[in-house]
C-alpha cells in the first residue's frame, strides 16, 4: 500500500548512499575487511591513526569505484583529490576522515528505477557525484552506560553516492535503494548486505507547497538499513514536517535518526555545513590520476546490468516485469536459474520455473536455516523437481512434502533434495489404479456416492480428497476428476 502525501504538499527526497566495497583489504592499508571478526583484531598503525603512519591507496578500490560510476553513466575524473574531513568522534581514531571533497572520482550519472508493482511510474534519479572515502569505526554500547569502540571497520573502503533531490515519494526512495543494491551485486563491487552495513542510506527530506519552486529546509535521516526503513522513515518525516509547517513552526535543519520500534524520527544533532568540517587536501596522499585506457578496460568488463537483464528476460521469454525484477535483484540466483533452464527452454517453462523459484523455493528457504548459496549449488536438481511437478508427476502435496523434507535436514541441499525426490516417487496416474481407489472411496461413503450419482457434483471434490488421502497425496487429481465425472455421467 503506497503512502499518500497530504493534499496540497510535495515531498522532495535526495539520497546519500554508502557502498562498502568488497575488497580483501582496507582502502589505505593491508588490514583485512572480514565482517564479524573479534573487536580490534583487524587494525594496524595506519587505520589506528598512530603518529607517523602513512596511507597507501588500494588500487582495487579505485577500479571498483570506476566500475560503479560507469554503470551509472557518470563521468570518470582523470584527476581527483583526497581531502581530510575534520570532526571529533570516539570511533574516528585520527580525528579526521580521509574522503574526497571538491574533486571526486565520479561526477554526474543517474539511477533508473523501474515502474513499481503498485503502478508507480519509472523514475530517473540524477546523481551529483560519487566519491571515495574510508569508513569510521563502530561504537558498541554496552551495559551500565558504557560505550566501547571497535576499530575493525575503520579504513574499510566506501563509495559515497550523492543524488540530486529528485524523488517525490517514500516508495521511490526504497525502490531506488533496491535498484542500487541489485547494481552493486551484479557488478561484484559489494555484497550489498544492508543488515551488515555494506549498504547504508541517508535520506534528505524536505517538503513544500505544491507548485512552489523553492526547496524547503531539509532534514537528514541517518543510517537506514533496510528498504522498509527507508520507506517508513521518509513517510513519517514528510508528515512531521508538514504538520510543523501547518502549525506555523519552522523546520530546523538537523540530522535525525529513525526509531524503528517507536515508528518515528528523532533529532540527533544540528546539521553541519561543509565549512564546519574544515576540508583541506590530505598532504600524505598524492592526486589520483586515472588514465583513459584504464577506464576503457573497465568499461569493456561491465557485465549485463539489471535493467538490461530485466528487458531481456521479458523480451525473450515473456517473464512478467515484477518477476524479472525479483530475479535480477539477486544476480547469482538469476544466472543459476538461466543455466538450469538449459539452452532452448520454452517461454512457458521459463515463466513457470521463475515463479517456482521466487515463490515455492524462496518460501522454503526462508522457513529454513539454510544459506542461499545452497540453493545456487542445487539449482539443477531444483529444476528437475519443478519439471516433475509441472508435468504432473508430483502433486502439490507431494511437492510441499518434498521441499519440507529437503530443506529441514542438516545434509547439503543437493543431497537432501535427491533423497526427498527418491522418497516421493511419482503420482498414481494409471486409470486402473485410480479406479480401484475411487471404487473403495465410493463404497466407504454410500450416502455421498448416491448423492453424487443424483447430480450433486459438488461432492466430486469430497471424493477427490478421499482418494488423495488414501493414496498419501500421490494421485493425479486432474485425471481423478475426469474419472469421477465419467462415473456420474454413466
Specify whether 412 is located in the same domain as 337: yes
Residue whose cell numbers read 517473464? 319
Do the domain assignments include residue 4? no
Specify whether 397 is located in the same domain as 443: no
Domain boundary among 269, 295, 321: 295
Average of per-residue pLDDT values in the chain: 90
pLDDT digits (tens, 9 = 90+) for 98-112: 999 999 999 999 999
d(CA 139, CA 145): 13
**Is residue 16 a contact partner of residue 99, using CB atoms and an 8 Å limit?**
no
Range of the domain at 445: 431-489
Mean pLDDT of 455-463: 79
pLDDT digits (tens, 9 = 90+) for 273-327: 656 889 999 999 999 999 999 999 999 999 999 999 999 999 999 999 889 988 9
The pTM of the full predicted model, rounded to 2 decimals, is 0.84
Measure the CA dihedral 443/446/448/453, to 10°.
90
pLDDT for 4 = 84
**Is residue 229 a contact partner of residue 222, using CB atoms and an 8 Å limit?**
no
Q: What is the CATH number of the domain that holds 474?
A: 1.10.10
pLDDT for 29 = 97
pLDDT digits (tens, 9 = 90+) for 52-81: 999 999 999 999 999 999 999 999 999 999
DSSP states of 267-280: EEEEPPPGGGG--E
Domain boundary among 424, 439, 466: 424
Do the domain assignments include residue 3? no
What residue spans of 163-221 are helical by DSSP H? 170-187
pLDDT digits (tens, 9 = 90+) for 24-42: 999 999 999 999 999 999 9
pLDDT for 391 = 82
Nearest Cα residue to 467 out of 453, 454, 482, 489: 482
pLDDT digits (tens, 9 = 90+) for 356-395: 999 999 999 999 999 899 999 999 999 999 998 988 778 7
Whether the CA torsion 341, 342, 348, 351 is positive or negative: it is: positive
Do the domain assignments include residue 2? no
Length of the chain: 490
d(CA 163, CA 203): 10
d(CA 352, CA 339): 15
**Is residue 90 a contact partner of residue 76, using CB atoms and an 8 Å limit?**
no
Specify whether 162 is located in the same domain as 283: yes
* 3-class SS of residue 76: strand
Q: Are strands 264-270 and 138-141 parallel, antiparallel or unpaired?
A: unpaired
Specify whether 247 is located in the same domain as 278: yes
Q: What is the DSSP letter of 358?
A: I
Do the domain assignments include residue 107? yes
Specify whether 64 is located in the same domain as 165: yes
Specify whether 249 is located in the same domain as 342: no
Specify whether 25 is located in the same domain as 83: yes
Specify whether 463 is located in the same domain as 330: no
Specify whether 26 is located in the same domain as 123: yes
In the chain, % of residues over pLDDT 70: 93
Q: Is the pLDDT of residue 484 over 80?
A: no
**Is residue 474 a contact partner of residue 398, using CB atoms and an 8 Å limit?**
yes
Do the domain assignments include residue 441? yes
Specify whether 27 is located in the same domain as 97: yes
Amino acid at each position: 500500500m503506497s503512502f499518500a502525501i497530504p493534499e496540497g504538499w510535495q515531498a522532495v527526497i535526495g539520497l546519500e548512499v554508502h557502498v562498502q566495497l568488497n575488497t580483501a583489504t582496507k582502502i589505505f592499508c593491508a588490514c583485512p575487511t572480514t565482517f564479524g571478526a573479534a573487536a580490534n583484531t583487524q587494525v594496524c598503525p595506519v587505520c589506528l591513526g598512530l603518529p607517523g603512519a602513512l596511507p597507501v591507496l588500494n588500487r582495487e578500490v579505485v577500479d571498483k569505484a570506476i566500475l560503479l560510476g560507469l554503470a551509472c553513466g557518470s563521468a570518470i575524473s582523470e584527476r581527483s583529490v583526497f581531502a581530510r574531513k575534520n570532526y571529533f568522534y570516539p570511533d574516528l581514531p585520527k580525528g579526521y576522515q580521509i574522503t574526497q571533497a571538491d574533486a571526486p572520482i565520479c561526477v554526474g550519472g543517474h539511477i533508473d528505477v523501474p515502474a513499481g508493482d503498485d503502478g508507480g511510474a519509472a523514475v530517473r534519479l540524477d546523481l551529483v557525484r560519487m566519491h571515495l572515502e574510508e569508513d569510521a569505526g563502530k561504537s558498541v554500547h554496552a551495559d551500565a552506560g558504557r560505550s566501547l569502540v571497535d576499530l575493525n571497520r575503520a579504513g574499510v573502503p566506501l563509495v559515497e553516492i550523492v543524488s540530486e533531490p529528485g524523488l517525490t515519494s517514500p516508495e521511490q526512495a526504497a525502490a531506488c535503494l533496491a535498484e542500487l543494491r541489485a547494481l552493486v551485486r551484479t557488478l561484484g563491487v559489494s555484497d550489498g548486505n544492508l543488515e551488515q552495513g555494506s549498504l547504508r542510506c541517508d535520506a534528505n527530506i524536505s517538503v513544500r507547497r505544491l507548485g512552489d519552486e523553492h526547496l524547503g529546509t531539509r532534514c537528514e535521516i541517518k543510517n537506514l538499513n533496510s528498504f522498509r526503513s527507508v520507506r517508513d522513515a521518509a513517510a513519517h518525516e514528510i508528515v512531521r514536517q508538514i504538520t510543523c509547517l501547518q502549525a506555523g513552526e519552522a523546520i530546523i535543519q538537523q540530522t535525525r535518526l529513525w526509531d524503528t520500534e517507536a515508528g518515528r524520527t528523532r533529532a540527533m544533532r544540528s546539521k553541519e555545513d561543509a565549512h564546519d568540517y574544515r576540508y583541506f587536501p590530505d598532504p600524505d596522499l598524492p592526486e589520483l590520476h586515472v588514465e583513459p585506457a584504464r577506464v576503457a578496460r573497465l568499461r569493456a568488463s561491465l557485465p549485463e546490468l539489471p535493467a538490461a537483464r530485466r528487458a531481456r528476460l521479458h523480451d525473450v521469454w515473456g517473464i512478467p516485469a515484477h518477476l524479472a525484477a525479483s530475479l535480477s535483484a539477486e544476480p547469482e540466483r538469476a544466472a543459476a536459474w538461466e543455466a538450469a533452464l538449459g539452452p532452448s527452454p520454452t517461454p512457458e517453462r521459463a515463466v513457470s520455473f521463475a515463479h517456482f523459484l521466487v515463490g515455492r523455493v524462496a518460501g522454503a528457504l526462508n522457513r529454513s536455516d539454510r544459506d542461499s548459496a545452497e540453493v545456487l549449488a542445487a539449482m539443477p536438481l531444483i529444476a528437475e523437481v519443478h519439471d516433475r511437478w509441472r508435468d504432473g508427476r508430483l502433486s502439490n502435496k507431494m511437492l510441499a512434502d518434498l521441499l519440507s523434507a529437503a530443506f529441514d535436514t542438516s545434509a547439503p541441499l543437493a543431497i537432501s533434495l535427491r533423497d526427498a525426490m527418491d522418497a516421493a516417487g511419482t503420482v498414481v496416474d494409471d486409470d486402473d489404479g485410480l479406479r480401484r481407489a475411487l471404487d473403495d472411496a465410493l463404497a466407504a461413503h454410500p450416502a455421498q456416492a448416491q448423492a453424487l450419482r443424483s447430480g450433486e457434483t459438488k461432492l466430486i471434490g469430497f471424493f477427490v480428497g478421499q482418494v488423495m488421502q488414501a493414496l498419501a497425496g500421490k494421485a493425479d487429481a486432474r485425471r481423478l476428476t475426469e474419472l469421477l465425472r465419467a462415473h456420474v455421467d454413466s
